[in-house]
């Protein structure tokens, strides 16, 4: 039996709605003001909330705002009941996260249709969420052991080799082993650093005060950032002649550390998912009041569905391709760009190419 909470300061309205819903088999709970409604929501955990807008002390907007701030209650479908029909009122409620509006007076069918529609939509959303969790678990089960143990095995194996054969190895062989250890340690360090940064960005985005304390905004030359990153990636990947750079300079008001990380991850992704002797084109220009950076590779590409599911710890076709990392690179880049009021767009043709576009406001 679905539980419905009605919040309205008019007792006769509550009684009329409650009688209809109880007849339809719903478990109905009632509150006569906004504060009582919030307490009832916390106590009863209803499946859906119907709430009047104009109430004394705490109006419907404030009730919705308080509920959205509560992690345990923020996903409950919320329908406003109102006699007001101005578009600005509808817009204000929707911006706060209301799911629907019922304009008083409304019919029995309008009431039931609105409730059933929202309940069905909520169930579908939960179903998609659980499917995503299942896929996330599968992705982690494929990637987690491999990503930790592969570099650790390389490090441990080479250290043991040095211990056992140090006296019989020449200088060149020792340096080769040390380089393998260094490469594996770098891979592990980047993995752990990306996981730490992901958690840090989650905290920053949830707290405006923390954002102001952590982010150090300054006008940065984009040409210098991109050139420095490109030089490093060319050295690390040994694909000097595959990377073509054509960038216009501009000043963007960002935190250099974070933005450099975003650009590095995207270019490194292009390197990782494209073959040697295929071109990676990096181009940037100013369009009106925005700095536009495009990074295009000729790799294996992504499907529309894969693009829509880009997220932390998600890798695609892991069973068929050797990959490094947890799939955090693009997710980190998207979060960082959003942090600076920018946008990151992924365009791809499966089996042919992928283009990542950064759009950032000019300083």
Q: What is the CATH classification number for the domain harbouring 54?
A: 3.40.50.2300
**Among 205, 229, 253, residue at a domain's last position:** 205
| pLDDT attached to residue 132 | 59
Least confident of 159-168, 223-232, 248-257, 297-306: 297-306
Q: Examine the pLDDT at 147 and tell me if it is beyond 60.
A: yes
Place of tokens 């179903």: 127
Residues 100 and 184 both lie in one domain: no
> Do 60 and 29 touch, CB atoms closer than 8 A?
no
323 pLDDT higher than 70: no
pLDDT at 295: 94
Q: Give yes or no for residue 326 having a pLDDT over 80.
A: no
Residue 315: inside a domain:
yes
Q: Which ranges constitute the DSSP H helices of the chain?
A: 11-23, 34-44, 60-68, 87-96, 108-165, 171-205, 208-214, 222-237, 256-272, 304-308, 329-339
Which of 9-23, 132-146, 185-199 is least confident? 132-146
Q: Are residues 219 and 355 in the same domain?
A: yes
pLDDT of residue 195: 81
46: confidence class by pLDDT, cuts 50, 70, 90: very high
CA atoms within a 13 Å half-sphere pointing along the CA-CB vector of 268: 22
Please report the pLDDT score of residue 310 as a whole number.
Answer: 64
Q: What is the mean pLDDT of the chain?
A: 84
Residues 81-106: pLDDT tens digits? 887 666 666 677 777 788 888 888 89
Judge if 78 and 154 occupy the same domain: no
Read off the CATH number of the domain in which 186 is found. Answer: 1.10.287
Residue appearing with tokens 């003001």: 33
Q: What percent of the chain has pLDDT over 90?
A: 44
Q: List 4's β-bridge partners, or say none.
A: 28, 48
Per-residue model confidence (pLDDT) at position 141: 54
280-287 vs 290-297, strand pairing mode: antiparallel
Same domain, 219 and 327: yes
Domain count for the chain, please give it.
Answer: 3
74 and 19, same structural domain?
A: yes
Separation of alpha carbons 314 and 143, rounded Å: 9
**CA pair distance 191, 203, nearest whole angstrom:** 19
Question: Does the pLDDT value for residue 322 go beyond 60?
Answer: no
Angle at 336 between CA 333 and CA 341, to 5 degrees: 125
Place of tokens 């995207």: 266
Global pTM reads 0.55
Last residue of a domain, one of 187, 205, 223: 205
For the chain, state the CA radius of gyration. 27
d(CA 363, CA 222): 11
Output the six-digit token pair for 306.
């894969």
pLDDT for the residue 182? 92
309 CA to centre of own chain: 10
Query: Is the pLDDT score of 311 beyond 70?
Result: no
């Amino acid at each position: 039996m679905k539980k419905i909470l009605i919040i309205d300061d008019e007792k006769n309205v509550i009684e009329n709605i409650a009688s209809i819903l109880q007849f339809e088999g719903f478990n109905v709970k009632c509150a006569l003001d906004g504060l009582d409604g919030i307490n009832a929501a916390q106590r009863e955990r209803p499946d859906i909330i119907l709430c009047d807008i104009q109430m004394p002390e705490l109006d419907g907007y404030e009730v919705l705002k308080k509920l959205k701030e509560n992690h345990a209650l923020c996903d409950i479908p919320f329908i406003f009941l109102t006699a007001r029909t101005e578009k600005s009122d509808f817009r204000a409620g929707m911006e706060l996260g209301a799911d629907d509006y019922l304009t008083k007076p409304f019919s029995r069918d309008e009431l039931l249709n609105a409730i059933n529609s929202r309940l069905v939509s909520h169930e579908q959303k939960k179903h998609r969420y659980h499917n995503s969790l299942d896929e996330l678990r599968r992705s982690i089960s494929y990637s987690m052991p491999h990503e930790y143990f592969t570099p650790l095995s390389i490090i441990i194996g080479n250290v043991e080799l040095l211990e056992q054969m140090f006296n019989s190895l020449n200088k060149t062989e020792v340096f080769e082993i040390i380089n393998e250890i260094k490469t594996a340690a770098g891979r592990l360090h980047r993995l752990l650093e990306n996981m730490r940064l992901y958690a840090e960005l989650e905290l920053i985005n949830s707290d405006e005060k923390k954002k102001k304390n952590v982010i150090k905004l300054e006008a940065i030359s984009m040409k210098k950032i991109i050139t420095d990153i490109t030089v490093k990636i060319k050295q690390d990947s040994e694909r000097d002649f595959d990377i073509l750079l054509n960038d216009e300079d501009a000043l963007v008001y960002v935190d250099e550390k974070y933005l450099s990380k975003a650009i590095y991850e995207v270019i490194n992704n292009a390197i990782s998912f494209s073959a040697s002797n295929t071109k990676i084109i990096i181009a940037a220009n100013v369009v009106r009041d925005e700095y536009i950076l495009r990074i295009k590779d000729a790799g294996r590409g992504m499907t529309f569905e894969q693009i829509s599911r880009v997220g932390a710890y998600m890798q695609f076709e892991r069973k068929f391709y050797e990959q490094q990392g947890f799939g955090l690179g693009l997710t980190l880049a998207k979060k960082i760009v959003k942090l600076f009021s920018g946008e990151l767009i992924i365009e791809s043709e499966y089996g042919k190419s992928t283009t990542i576009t950064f759009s950032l406001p000019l300083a």
